[in-house]
Structure 1
Amino acid sequence: MARRLAIDRRALAAFRVALALVVLVDLARRLPDVRAFYTDAGVLPRSVLATLYPGYGAVSLHALSGGLVVQLALFALAGVAALALLVGYRTRLATVVSLVLLVSLQLRNPLVLNSGDVLLRRLLFWAAFLPLGSRWAVDSGERTNSSGATDRVVGLATAGLLAQVVVVYLTNAVVKFRADVWLRGDAVRYAFQLDHFTVLLGDVIAGWTPAVQFAAWLWLALLVCSPLLVVLTGRARAALVGAFAAIHAGMVVTMQLGVFPLVSLAGLVPLLPGWVWDRVEARVPVTRRLPRLPRTPLARRVPALTALARTLAALCLVALVVVNAVGLGVVGAPAGTPDQVTERSWDMFAPSPPRATWWVLAPANLTSGERVNAITGEPFDASRPPEVAEMHRNERWRKFFADAKREPQLRQSLARHLCTRWNRTHDSGMTDVQLWHMSERTDLDGPESVERERLGSYRCGAT
């Protein structure tokens, strides 16, 4: 077990770099929507957050202020912490700060999160227990071209990290088996018919029926075999990691899933065995010694922290297993258990993919007499867009629109934001806006028709 749960220190270093890059990418992707998603002038003012998610604002640093300047300052601080994590400078502190700011950001607007966001904070959590700065880091101060055998790390934290990676795949497999669409091989066909998800190559290969059927069976087989990511060792494990990585790379170029594929790729890095890193160091020689500031680690100065960390890691490892067992229904949840515990975070396209493509239209009237789509800013056109994914700008807007369909308060704040955004940047003012939900049910073998549902009509200045 120790051999299978051990992680090469160079793998931990690469994992550190991958995590830092994902955090930076995540921040960069959120930044254009910082006003819309994280200020009181956006779609989720703090008053609405307090109504829908009581208590979230009390533990989120980003909820201390509804102003844009404070949000930009916190984004900048998160970026600095991620850069420190990237180079391995005060690595433990940088990891904890990155985790705290990420959780704070996610709690400020939980409506725009997906499974990738959940997985990212879980990986950062386990990373805080691991010596990510012991190799290829400013903290280590070692030559990065050293060869030969290297120390491995094994313990509760490595078990928790590897278990977290496997649990994502295994629970997803269990849920997928509850619908026969995956066994028939039609699941990926349905997924690629969802135009609000598909991008780039996804639109091209959507019609390759034999290929996408094989992809469905291959992915389901890999999910079932996910425990072998830990059971196997050496080249067999590396080959299986490569197969998972290839699927996630395919997701990047076919579907609009946000950071989920990137986070998943980062989670696979610690599973790569030592011989992979021997080759990496042999092919990428770096002779310069990294600068290192002499200091005594906090754990050595305060020995009680080590025992506390081990206890916390043990408790969280048990919680990881129990919570996912409850989410799958394997273990019954005690009465009064919050919904956040029993909800599954890893049911992506499971038990089956959605059966309809949808998008939101926001026809708005201007003082000039023109009519525009308040979401895109273009002249209003009620016809089906050729690229539905472009109607939502990104996956976070798509997630928010899905939540707004169910919650009247969100529709009101969305309309208010659309009016304010337009009137702030245009001479011709917006007087009113309507929200419509358009849905096109997927039919693999027949014609598809669009259904319309009016969500509301709002006057600007009175929303």
Structure 2
Amino acid sequence: MFSKEKKFKSSFERKLEELFGLDLRSLALFRIGLALLIVTDLIKRSQDLKAHYTDFGILPRAPLIEQFLNPWFWSVHLFSGEALFQSFLFLLAGFIAFALLIGYRTRFVTIVSWALLVSLHSRNPMVLSAGDIEIRLLLFWAMFLPLGACYSVDSALNSSSKPLSERILSGATVALTLQICFIYWFTWALKSDPIWWKDGSAVYYALSIDQFATPIGQFFLGFPALLVFLTYTTLGIELLGPFLLFIPIRTSFFRLCAVVTFILLHLGFGLGLTLGLFPFISAIAWLVFIPSEFWNGMSQRLQTPQRQKLKIYYDGECGFCKKTVYLLRTFLVLPGTPLLLAQDEPEIFAEMKTHNSWVVVDWQGYKHFKFKAIAYVCHLSPLLRPLTPLLEWRPVLSAGTKAYEIIAKNRRAASKVTAPLKFRPLEVRSSLLTDIIAFLLLLCVSLWNLRTIAPSIFKLPKVVSWMTLVLRLDQKWNMFAPYPLKDDGWYVIPGQLKDGTEIDVFKDGTPVSWEKPRLVSATYSNERWRKYMMNLWSKDNSKYRLYYGRYLCRNWNTQHQGSQQLDTFSIYFMRETTLPNYQTPTVKKVRIWKHSCFNSSPEDN
């Protein structure tokens, strides 16, 4: 599968490739992770599609365009405010993400996935978090990389006889590597408050943010010394951890250490704080750094006699059959298995016609046919081996055999289904043009990040600014920087119905209670609503409150009639400021908005 061209490279080129090159198998795993993240994100967002992305919801298109949207941002989601149109775009994005998952026309679908993601993010910036910025950037740099060179439809149907290189070194691999490092170096640089550097209380303050804290996070608040240790450990990993990628000796070992360290770091964040998909996005980003030596070692361990001597014969006159066996070999991770024409061996060909089936010959020379052959090949697959008992279960085996026979009798119809899948040559190489583009964009990103820590020193040329914004490479890694949020709290929205009944609109009409919830983070249905409500509390976002008020009226009154309709309400934020050394905080009731559903003059307080 891979060419052995290392010996023709100088030691400097080999080391440069080792430090900044990326293994094609790691890129494939990265692609699969990105696609699964996009699908998961779309499913989670679709639960609030009407509220977050239509004119019925919290931010209709007109005020977004007139007041809030950066003129350099763009979004096809703004073409219509109807739920049906948004649903179509969500389904399209999901279909494209599935194509990315299986690696079909990989570069094209990566570009389309990025464009649809940027469009979605621009539609409602109030529900975005750091994880959204990161996945957007990862997908951008992925457009320049050969994500479909392994474990994909593209690689399965590769018609080129030329073996692929094991790794690729290009401007894009350098850019992606540094982009991931920038996340940690610049968030470290922005953490300038003494609670990080002097008294080490930052993790204490972070876990005290009730809108984030999980039960596990609350549990760890009982260990003050551990929290100080975790504060300094976090700073150390953010600053020094990325440098593990660039150690010139035992590079593979140290890169694996970096991958494991950062994956564990983000999983730890996710256990203590409700951060949505952010921990998973960050963990998947580090998969690109899995070194070639890891994959080669895994491949050697998987080379059992059973796998090495497996042979698969197919009908050379059936295009559907040929494509199927090539796809199976790829996705079952059996790369060395020979795929042979049954017509070339009279005995095999005769048995193929007798059984009307492909022929799988195992390491002992036994032949397997129809669905039993599928079950046997899955048994040898390192991925699907656990499914073997299910596939060999008599009811499944019987149903599978019948399905196989139906398909075998209708090969022409099956061939039409697989007609879009074409055998094409696959090349993995970088071009001078794309390298130059990647390095120029990396320069833009570097300047943009430097400006976030010293805006008076690093002035951006206009061309850098607008290019960065148009491509949505804008970023600021100020997670818990310069210090974790200290003003915390929960929402109470007492409302009055037309008949005088008082309800809490925020809690779907339950009686009003000013008591602090046992777990504040659980009062939000999901990460998007939590982010939106935390943003709404900020004075910088006070102009959004009018549209949230109007949404609450629309949402309630379309579901209730007559005297049960919502008349007026006020939005209160029960502000609780975290104090040092576990001091008991005081709670202040702050009204941030007053609204009348049938009066056109709401009051902003």
One fold, TM greater than 0.5?
yes
Task: Note the alpha carbon deviations across 1:55-80, whole angstroms, 9 max, x for none.
Answer: 55972110100000011110011111
Asked if the contact 1:135–1:142 (Cα under 8 Å) also holds between the matched residues in 2, the reply is no
Q: How has the CA–CA distance of structure 1 residues 461 and 67 changed in structure 2, closer, same or farther, with 3 Å as cutoff?
A: farther
Contact 2:567–2:597 under 8 Å retained in 1? yes
Query: Hey, what's the Cα distance between the residues in 1 that align with 2:267 and 2:168?
Result: 28
Report the residue type matching 2:505 in the other structure: A
User: Which of residues 280, 284, 287 in structure 2 aligns to 1:262?
Assistant: 280
Q: Which residue of 1 aligns with 2:11?
A: none
Partner of 2:479: 348
The residue aligned with 1:414 is 548
Counterpart selection for 2:557 from 423, 439, 451:
423
Paired AA for residue 449 in structure 1: T
Q: Aligned-pair RMSD on alpha carbons?
A: 2.9
Matched, 1:293 2:422: yes
Q: Is the 8 A contact 2:56 2:551 kept in 1?
A: yes
Cross-structure match for 1:231: 246
Larger Rg, first or second structure (1 or 2): 2
Match of 2:44 in 1: 29
Shift of 1:11: 0.3
Q: Given the alignment of the two structures, is residue 459 of structure 1 paired with residue 590 of structure 2, yes or no? A: no
Taking the aligned partners of 1:157 and 1:59, their CA distance within structure 2 comes to 24
1:425 alignment partner, SS class: coil
CA distance in 1, matches of 2:302, 2:120: 36
Q: For residues 96-136 of structure 1, what are the alpha-carbon distances to aligned partners after superposition, in whole Å with 9 as ceiling and x for unaligned?
A: 11100000000001121111111111100110000000001
Q: 1:343/1:446 Cα in 2 relative to 1: closer, same or farther (>3 Å)?
A: farther
1:332 pairs with 2:458: yes
Alignment of 1:195-344 (within 5 A): 195-232=210-247, 233-281=251-299, 288-290=328-330, 293-295=422-424, 306-329=431-454, 331-334=457-460
Structure 1 residue aligned with 2:512:
380
- Is contact 1:49–1:57 with CA below 8 Å preserved after alignment? no
TM-score by length of 1: 0.90
Supply the distance in 1 between the matched residues of 2:431 and 2:223 (Cα, whole angstroms): 54
Evaluate the alpha carbon distance shift between residue 133 and residue 195 of structure 1 in structure 2; reply closer, same or farther with a 3 A threshold: same
Further displaced range: 66-75 or 251-260: 251-260
Give the 5 Å matches for 1:106-255: 106-141=121-156, 151-232=166-247, 233-255=251-273
Q: Deviations over 1:359-399 (max 9, x none)?
A: 22211112344322212213221221111112333332233
2:584 equivalent among 444, 447, 461 = 447
Whether the 8 Å CA contact 1:441–1:450 is kept in 2: the answer is yes
SS of match in other structure, 2:511: coil
Give the Cα separation in 2 of the matches to 1:280 and 1:431: 65
Mapped partners of 1:255, 1:204: distance in 2 = 12
- 2:533 alignment partner in structure 1: 401
| Gaps in structure 1 of 5+ consecutive residues | 144-148
Q: CA deviation at 1:296?
A: 5.3
Q: Is the 8 A contact 2:77 2:86 kept in 1?
A: yes
CA contact (8 A) 1:195 1:357 kept: yes
Q: Do the aligned partners of 1:111 and 1:399 also contact (CA within 8 Å) in 2?
A: yes
Contact 1:170 1:226 in 2 (8 A): no
Q: 1:41 aligns with which of 56, 70, 73?
A: 56
Which position in structure 1 is the counterpart of 2:406? none
Secondary structure at the counterpart of residue 115 of structure 2: helix
Post-superposition CA distance 1:223-267 (Å, at most 9, x none): 111331321311122112211110101122221112211111111
Q: Distance in 2 between matches of 1:241 and 1:118?
A: 21
Q: Distance in 2 between matches of 1:321 and 1:277?
A: 32
- Which residue is 1:435 aligned to? 571
Is contact 1:197-1:257 (8 Å) kept? yes
| Whole-angstrom distance in 2 between the partners of 1:129 and 1:228 | 24
Deviation at 1:17, TM superposition (A): 0.6
Contact 2:168-2:428 within 8 A present in 1 as well = no
Distance 1:343 1:451, change over 3 A: farther
Please give the alpha-carbon distance, in whole angstroms, between the structure 2 residues aligned to 1:181 and 1:298.
48
1:357 to 488, 492, 501: 488
Q: Is residue 359–residue 392 contact of structure 1 (8 Å, CA) maintained in 2?
A: no
Q: Is the 8 A contact 1:156 1:313 kept in 2?
A: yes
More moved, 210-219 vs 122-131: 210-219
Question: Could you say if the C-alpha distance between residues 176 and 55 of structure 1 is closer, same or farther in structure 2, counting changes exceeding 3 Å?
Answer: closer
Q: Does 1:10 align with 2:25?
A: yes
**Which residue of 2 is the match for residue 146 of structure 1?**
none
Worse-superposed segment, 288-297 or 89-98: 288-297
> 1:203 deviation in Å?
2.2
Instruction: Identify if the C-alpha distance between structure 1 residues 173 and 55 changes in structure 2 by more than 3 Å, giving closer, same or farther.
Output: closer
Taking the aligned partners of 1:391 and 1:57, their CA distance within structure 2 comes to 35
Structure 2: tracts of 5 or more residues without a match:
1-15, 159-163, 311-327, 332-420, 601-605
- Partner Cα distance (1:64, 1:37) in 2: 15
- The amino acid of 2:522's aligned partner reads E
Gap change, CA 1:111 and 1:283, over 3 Å in 2: farther
**In structure 1, distance between residues paired with 2:299 and 2:218:** 39
Q: 1:180 to 1:50 in 2, by over 3 A?
A: same
Q: Which amino acid aligns with 1:333?
A: K
Q: For the residues of structure 1 that align with 2:465 and 2:176, how far apart are their CA atoms?
A: 25
Q: TM-score, normalised to structure 2's length?
A: 0.70
Q: Structure 2 vs 1, CA of residues 244 and 334 (structure 1 numbering), >3 Å: closer, same or farther?
A: closer
Give 3-state SS (helix, strand or coil) of 2:491's partner.
Answer: strand
Distance 2:568 2:42 in 1: 33
What is the identity, as a one-letter code, of the residue corresponding to 1:402?
M
Question: Could you tell me which amino acid in structure 1 is paired with residue 556 of structure 2?
Answer: W
The verdict on how the C-alpha distance between 1:71 and 1:56 changes in structure 2, with shifts beyond 3 A counting, is: farther
Q: Which amino acid aligns with 1:413?
A: Y
| Greater relative contact order, per chain length (Cα 8 Å cut-off, separation 6+) | 1
1:229–1:271 contact (8 Å) kept in structure 2:
no
In structure 2, how many angstroms separate the alpha carbons of the residues matched to 1:78 and 1:281?
34
Deviation at 1:44, TM superposition (A): 0.4
How far apart are 1:403 and its partner, in Å?
A: 3.2
Q: Is the Cα–Cα contact under 8 Å of residues 131 and 277 in structure 2 kept in the other structure?
A: yes
Q: 1:71 to 1:57 in 2, by over 3 A?
A: farther
1:144-201 deviation line (CA, Å, top 9, x unaligned): xxxxx96101110100110010010011111224534344221101100111111242
Distance 2:75 2:103 in 1: 26
Contact 2:570 2:594 in 1 (8 A): yes
200-209 or 346-355, larger mean C-alpha shift: 200-209
